Structure 1
Amino acid sequence: MMREQSADILIIGSGIGGACMAAGLSTSGASVVILERGEQLPQSAHARNPRSIFVDEHYRPKEMWRDAAGLEFNPGNYYYVGGNSKFYGAVMLRYRERDFEDLTHADGVSPAWPIGYHDLEPWYCAAERLFQVRGALGQDPTEPEHSASYPHPPVPDEPAIAAARERLRKVGLHPFSLPLAIDIGRWLDHAKTPWDAYPDTRTGKFDAETAALALALAQPAVSLVTGAMVERLQLDRDGSRIAGAEYVKDGERFVIRAGTVVLSAGAINSAAILLRSATERHPGGLANRSGVVGRHFMNHNATAMLTIDPRKRNDSVYQKTLGINDFYFDDGRGGPPLGNVQLLGRISAPVLKASLRWVPDFVLERLACHSVDWYLMSEDLPDPESRVHVDGKSIVLAWKRTNMTAHRGLVRRMKEVFREAGYPIVLARAFDKRTPSHQCGTVRFGHDPATSALDPFCRAHDHPNLFVVDAGFMPSSAAVNPSLTVAAQALRVADHIQSTRFAA
Structure 2
Amino acid sequence: MQHESYDVILIGTGSGGGTIAQKLAPSGEKILLIERGDFIPKEKENWDVDEVVVKGRYRSQETWYDKDGHPFLPFTHYVVGGNSKVYGAASFRLREADFLETSHPTGTSPAWPISYAQLAPYYTQAERLFSVHGIRGSDLFEPPAAEPYPFGAIPVEPFAQELYDLVGKTGLAPFPIPMAVRLAQDNTYWPDAPTILGNFDGFPDPTEAKADAHVTGIRAALQYPNVQLLTNAFVSRLITNEAGDRVTGVRVEQNGTTKTYQTGVVIVAAGAVNSAALLLRSATEKHPNGLANGSGQVGRNYMSHLNGCLIAFTPDKLNTASFQKYFCIGDYYLPSANNPHALGEIQLMGKNDPATVLSLGTPFFPDKDAAWLSAHSIDFWLTAEDFPDPDNRVTLTPDGHIRLTYHRERNNVFAYGQLKQKLKDLFKKLGTLDPAFGTVYWGGYDLGISGVSHQCGTLRFGLDPATSVLDVNCKAHELANLYVVDGSFFPSSGAYNPSLTIAANALRVGEHLLNHVL
Matches within 5 A, 1:9-408: 9-185=8-184, 193-201=198-206, 203-330=208-335, 333-352=338-357, 362-391=368-397, 392-401=399-408, 402-408=411-417
After superposition, the C-alpha distances for 1:327-362 in whole angstroms (9 at most, x for unaligned) are 001266242100011111123424535878999794
Identity over aligned pairs, percent: 40
SS in 2 for 1:141: coil
CA contact (8 A) 1:50 1:351 kept: no
SS of alignment partner, residue 314 of structure 1: coil
**Whole-angstrom CA distance in 2 between matches of 1:390 and 1:314:** 46
Q: Distance in 2 between matches of 1:374 and 1:484?
A: 21
Question: SS in structure 2 opposite 1:305?
Answer: strand
Does the CA-based 8 Å contact 1:353-1:361 persist in structure 2? no
- Equivalent residue in structure 2 for 1:458, among 470, 474, 478: 474
Residue identity in the other structure for 1:373: D
Q: Return the offset for 1:184.
A: 4.4
Q: Which residue of 1 aligns with 2:434?
A: none
2:495 aligns to what? Answer: 479
- What amino acid does structure 1 have at the position aligned with 2:385? E
Distance 1:399 1:361, change over 3 A: farther
1:440 has 2:456 as partner: yes
Compared CA separation, residues 355 and 463, structure 1 to 2 (3 A): farther
Deviation at 1:190, TM superposition (A): 8.1
Distance in 2, matches of 1:154 and 1:361, equals: 38
CA shift, 1:57, in A, is: 2.2
Matched residues in 2 for 1:480 and 1:164: separation?
22
Alpha-carbon displacement from aligned partner over 1:127-148 (angstroms, at most 9, x marks no partner): 0111111111111111000101
Q: 1:49-95 CA deviation, whole Å, 9 max, x = no partner?
A: 11222222222221111000111111001110000000000011000
RMSD of Structure 2 on Structure 1 (CA):
2.0
Task: After superposition, give the CA deviation of every residue in 1:205-241 in whole Å (9 maximum; x if it has no partner).
Answer: 1100001112211111111110110000000122110
Distance 1:184 1:344 in 2: 19
Q: 1:285-337 deviations in whole A, cap 9, x for unaligned?
A: 00111110000000110120112322221111111111110000126624210
3-state SS, counterpart of residue 498 of structure 1: helix
Query: 1:262 deviation in Å?
Result: 0.2
Q: Note closer, same or farther for the CA distance 1:203–1:189 as it changes in structure 2 (3 Å cut).
A: farther
Q: Is 330-339 or 188-197 further displaced after alignment?
A: 188-197
Q: What is the 5 A alignment of 1:408-447?
A: 408-422=417-431, 423=437, 424-425=439-440, 426-447=442-463
- Distance in 2 of aligned mates of 1:295 and 1:40: 31
Say which SS state the counterpart of residue 230 (structure 1) adopts.
Answer: strand
Q: Structure 1: any 5+ residue segments left out of the alignment?
A: none
Distance verdict in 2 for CA 1:239–1:192, change over 3 Å: closer
Q: Is the 8 A contact 1:5 1:254 kept in 2?
A: no
Task: Give the Cα separation in 1 of the matches to 2:352 and 2:159.
Answer: 14
Q: Which runs of 4+ in 1 moved over 3 A?
A: 184-192, 353-363
CA distance in 1, matches of 2:450, 2:362: 17
In structure 1, how many angstroms separate the alpha carbons of the residues matched to 2:367 and 2:76? Answer: 28
Is the Cα contact below 8 Å between 1:54 and 1:354 reproduced in 2?
Answer: no
Moved more, 55-64 or 354-363: 354-363
Q: Which amino acid counterpart does residue 199 of structure 1 have in structure 2?
A: P
Are the aligned partners of 1:35 and 1:225 in contact in 2 as well (CA < 8 Å)? Answer: yes
Matched residue type, 1:449: P
Alignment check: 8 A CA contact 2:308 2:444 kept: yes
Whether the aligned pair in 2 keeps the contact of 1:48 and 1:191 (CA below 8 Å) is no
Q: Match of 1:234, SS?
A: strand
TM-score, normalised to structure 1's length? Answer: 0.95
The answer to whether the Cα contact below 8 Å between 2:208 and 2:215 also exists between their aligned partners in 1 is: no
How many pairs were matched up? 500
> How far apart are 1:199 and its partner, in Å?
1.2
Q: SS of the residue aligned with 1:412? A: helix
Which of 424-433 and 318-327 deviates more? 424-433
Q: Does the 8 Å CA contact 1:331/1:338 hold for their aligned counterparts?
A: no
Paired with 1:190 and 1:325, the residues of 2 have a C-alpha distance of 27
Cα contact 1:51–1:351 (8 A) shared by 2: no
C-alpha spacing 1:362/1:45, structure 2 compared with 1 (3 Å): farther
**What is the distance in 1 between the residues matched to 2:482 and 2:511?**
15
SS in structure 1 of the partner of residue 378 of structure 2: strand
Are the counterparts in 1 of residues 328 and 345 from structure 2 also a CA contact under 8 Å? yes
Contact 1:104–1:110, Cα closer than 8 Å, also in 2:
yes
